Structure 1
Amino acid sequence: MASYPDLYQIPAGRLDAFVTQQLQPDVEWKEEVEDAFKRVERFLRDQCFHTQLFLDREVRLKRVVKGGSIGKGTTLNHGSDVDLVIFLSCFSSFQEQIKLRGHIITHVVERLTRYRESLAFDIQSINVRQSWRRGSAPRSLSFYIQARRRSEPIKVNVLPAFDALGNLAPGEKPPSEVYENLIKSQSKDGEFSSSFTELQRSFFKYRPAKLKSLLRLVKHWYLKKVKAKCPRTLLPPKYALELLTIYAWESGTQKAENFNTDEGFVTVMELLRDYENICIYWTTNYNFESAVIRDFVKWKLKKNRPIILDPADPTNNVGEGKRWDVVAQEAAHCLKQNCCYDKNDEEIQSWDVQPETEA
């Protein structure tokens, strides 16, 4: 794994240089990740779903979408999985996805085992991730591929998903019926978030480069200072911290392209320290015009805090039920370190950000 200088020993004025020199993905790594994506996509098309008749129906691979940090453009150097969301013709509803995805995953695992040579990579550790619901079908599969030039294997996650959005134009809001059907499915929170991967990706993709640098810095802090210390603790996902960082930037700078990274970092740490006040959401993709959506979101916003609603999926409070207190404790400790003080040993001032989205 890559070795980094200790973030807590880096003066606030050097944070931009730290991100540029240590956290930005290098060209070679990006090329290898892109090569891995293309090879796996080709394998899925040619070896898994090319002429497949499955469960008495045709199963076509409609498209493959990059999810996660790589899809959003916030990946860390040598430090992110390759998430591939596969949209299949056999899923005609959210309920069908639950019913059939276990069969799909079993099929892909069988094909990977039989035709792994066609990937021209060494395939390692094929694992199936189970659903949150006991007795329910698995949600995804993962495996590691060893590229020819890399010393570290790349983890690939494959998530079968119902194509709820169809041919949605860039920047277009989904029809209200999409979210009404999602809400009426009464699924577990975030169960079908993979169906909205393209909206999640678009929410991040066209943000300023400096904001993406701040996102990388916050994620690096989370991975090295929180997750590494508590590997078995049920922590909030990185996605929750990414959304919180975007909210802080939107509210604190009025979406400025240029800002002080140290101020943004301190602002996020303060929000995390005071996590019990957080209640944020966006109306980028869903709004209150539909009574079904309006009533559901208002109900969600009355739950225990922190609340960070996924801008692509209103059922998904991304940090619900997680150990925010552990994150808060480390954030409070971080605020006392060199990275949060200027060259005159003065505390970096945070942005004026309220912990709640204004109604």
Structure 2
Amino acid sequence: MQPVKSYNCVRCGNDFASQMALKHHFQTKHIGRVYCDKCGTEVLREKLKEHEQIVHCKDEHNLSREYLHWDQPQQHEDKFVASGKSVSCRMCGRSFGTIHSREQHERQDHHFTASQRARMSTAFCADSILDQRSPQLLQIFVETNLRPQMGLMRVACGGEVENFIDLIQKCCPLTVTRLIKGGSYFKGTDTRSWSDIDVVIFSSSFLNIDDCKEKISSSLCGLENNLMISAMSNRILVERKASHSLQFQFKCFKDLHIHHFDVIFCYDLLGPIASQDAKRNLYRQLYNCGDDVKIQLYSISLLKYQVDFVKASTLGVKDLIRLVKHWFKTSLAKPTEANRFRRLPSSYAVELITIYVWQLAGKPIFFSLVQGLRAVLKFLVNYSDILIIWCDHYDKNFSIVKKVLQKESRPFILDPVNPTFNVCENSNAWDEVTHVAQQSLLKPLLSGVQAKAPWLFTNNW
């Protein structure tokens, strides 16, 4: 029996049964489109300048304030939508139809071998926590270096943040009907060196999602202008104005640290108390939507439930999350010009993986951080087997969940409040994470460590 011949699109990697189908696909999807040199996104040729201005360029006011980079800005991660990151090449940004075709392209066109991956992924810092040998010292390190300062300092910080959020509402050019607060600060997973805050503003000024999409850019400009003439303008540094959010740094209590804000406007789809039917209807809209911006806007209504899911974890779990985030920051190499399109798993994915591993251990209230870190790293080593689903907000038998599961992509972490979103799809570098996790398990802190109850299940990994 003759094998069925397929015709491959050189631009996106999709396969087609005939040359006619391939030609039709190329004409409708790629003709007149070019790749953006900065992010690798394929956009209409006549829209390239507009894309660069909206996504990549700071306005003149920000350029004049360039010297005010109080803290080294970190890249804000995409929220709620994967944007095809798992199928985009980490070297050139080109997108493909499948992860397999993307990996094949990286091997053939960029000679991305196992040894090259090892060189480009690993960069243990000089004073790595993995070089310690004492679990007690690790606990002290987390308490004194990662966990935010408590007591009066935290109270003062909380007051500053709330006052600034009140200012954002006053500077809002639209009628504010409801506001949701998220990010690591409100989930309780922020560290001494990094705190991000999401502020979602719902407004009755929007008639529907399409109206919101149409007006959101001008509304963000109005908010930015009002903030820049406010009494706190000298404590604000606008980092980036994306098509659907305003991102900036805010100096907190006595200029001791920085909070990274992400302000988003949205039409309120669910209201303050959502019924199960309202959620199911939202899930259907999400699943059938093909517009990334509208997916973001639809999903924003679920932010409160995402925050509540992580926030419900114990202090020990939050310390473990901080430790795993620190491991990512100090063990994996930063991207270079050669692999500038590499994207590591999002901090939200890190939080969910850590919570899941803790749940497998039976949700212990008190546990060894060494045992917890070892368990998470061993879990990451087998990334291609990761399949995590929670059913607190949706049922496994819900048709949307079944359809998403049929894709059988791995790794797979279904957002606990959004059954249309595989959180793992934001990354195209899981293989690098696995390599660094393997090397980390050989370091003095973890080498030779035996699993103890309730972590004995990790011996099967």
Contact kept? 1:12, 1:262, Cα under 8 Å: no
Q: Does 1:242 align with 2:351?
A: yes
Q: Does 1:26 align with 2:133?
A: no
Partner of 2:165: 41
Contact kept? 2:227, 2:233, Cα under 8 Å: no
Partner of 1:142: 247
Q: Does 1:219 align with 2:360?
A: no
Partner of 1:297: 404
How far apart are 1:272 and its partner, in Å?
Answer: 1.2
Identical-pair percentage: 26
Q: Does 1:116 align with 2:224?
A: no
Partner of 1:198: 304
Cα distance between partner residues in 1 of 2:221 and 2:371 = 48
Cα distance between partner residues in 2 of 1:333 and 1:305 = 22
How far apart are 1:173 and its partner, in Å?
Answer: 9.1
Contact kept? 2:146, 2:192, Cα under 8 Å: yes
1:54-93 maps to which residues of 2 (within 5 A)? 59-93=174-208
Partner of 2:390: 282
How far apart are 1:43 and its partner, in Å?
Answer: 1.9
How far apart are 1:8 and its partner, in Å?
Answer: 1.4
Change (3 A) 1:109 1:262: same
Of 149-158 and 222-231, the range deviating more from structure 2: 222-231
How far apart are 1:24 and its partner, in Å?
Answer: 0.8
Cα distance between partner residues in 2 of 1:267 and 1:106 = 46
Contact kept? 2:249, 2:258, Cα under 8 Å: yes
Change (3 A) 1:333 1:94: farther
How far apart are 1:31 and its partner, in Å?
Answer: 4.0
Cα distance between partner residues in 2 of 1:304 and 1:298 = 8
Change (3 A) 1:295 1:188: farther
Change (3 A) 1:281 1:42: same
Change (3 A) 1:11 1:339: same
Partner of 2:417: 312
How far apart are 1:237 and its partner, in Å?
Answer: 0.7
How far apart are 1:4 and its partner, in Å?
Answer: 10
Give the AA of the match of 2:319.
S
Cα distance between partner residues in 1 of 2:233 and 2:227 = 12
Partner of 1:127: 240
TM-score (norm 1): 0.80
How far apart are 1:123 and its partner, in Å?
Answer: 2.0
Partner of 2:135: 13
Cα distance between partner residues in 2 of 1:12 and 1:99 = 56
How far apart are 1:289 and its partner, in Å?
Answer: 5.1
Change (3 A) 1:314 1:290: closer
Secondary structure of 1:214's match? helix
Cα distance between partner residues in 2 of 1:346 and 1:265 = 11
How far apart are 1:12 and its partner, in Å?
Answer: 5.2
Partner of 2:12: none
How far apart are 1:156 and its partner, in Å?
Answer: 1.8
Q: Does 1:326 align with 2:432?
A: yes
Change (3 A) 1:263 1:96: farther
Contact kept? 1:121, 1:147, Cα under 8 Å: no
Partner of 2:37: none
How far apart are 1:186 and its partner, in Å?
Answer: 3.5
How far apart are 1:335 and its partner, in Å?
Answer: 0.6
Change (3 A) 1:275 1:67: same
Partner of 1:156: 261
1:224-235 maps to which residues of 2 (within 5 A)? 224-226=330-332, 228=334, 232=340, 233-235=342-344
Q: 1:98-122 CA distances to partner (integer Å, 9 max, x unpaired)?
A: 3332222122122223x232x3642
Secondary structure of 1:340's match? coil
Secondary structure of 2:144's match? helix
Contact kept? 2:178, 2:202, Cα under 8 Å: yes
How far apart are 1:151 and its partner, in Å?
Answer: 4.3
Change (3 A) 1:225 1:30: farther
How far apart are 1:126 and its partner, in Å?
Answer: 4.3
Cα distance between partner residues in 1 of 2:240 and 2:156 = 22
Give the AA of the match of 2:410.
R
Of 173-182 and 235-244, the range deviating more from structure 2: 173-182
Cα distance between partner residues in 2 of 1:100 and 1:234 = 30
Cα distance between partner residues in 1 of 2:289 and 2:221 = 25
Which of residues 276, 281, 285 in structure 2 aligns to 1:177? Answer: 281
Contact kept? 1:121, 1:145, Cα under 8 Å: no
Q: 1:17-67 CA distances to partner (integer Å, 9 max, x unpaired)?
A: 221122110036534542442233222222224xxxxxxxxx321233221
How far apart are 1:71 and its partner, in Å?
Answer: 1.7
Give the AA of the match of 1:116.
S
Change (3 A) 1:147 1:280: closer
Gaps of 5+ in 1: 50-58, 130-137
Secondary structure of 1:84's match? strand
Of 195-204 and 180-189, the range deviating more from structure 2: 180-189
Cα distance between partner residues in 2 of 1:191 and 1:48 = 20
Partner of 1:271: 379
Change (3 A) 1:80 1:306: same
Cα distance between partner residues in 2 of 1:267 and 1:314 = 26
Cα distance between partner residues in 1 of 2:419 and 2:349 = 14
Partner of 1:132: none
Aligned positions, number: 329
1:88-107 maps to which residues of 2 (within 5 A)? 88-107=203-222
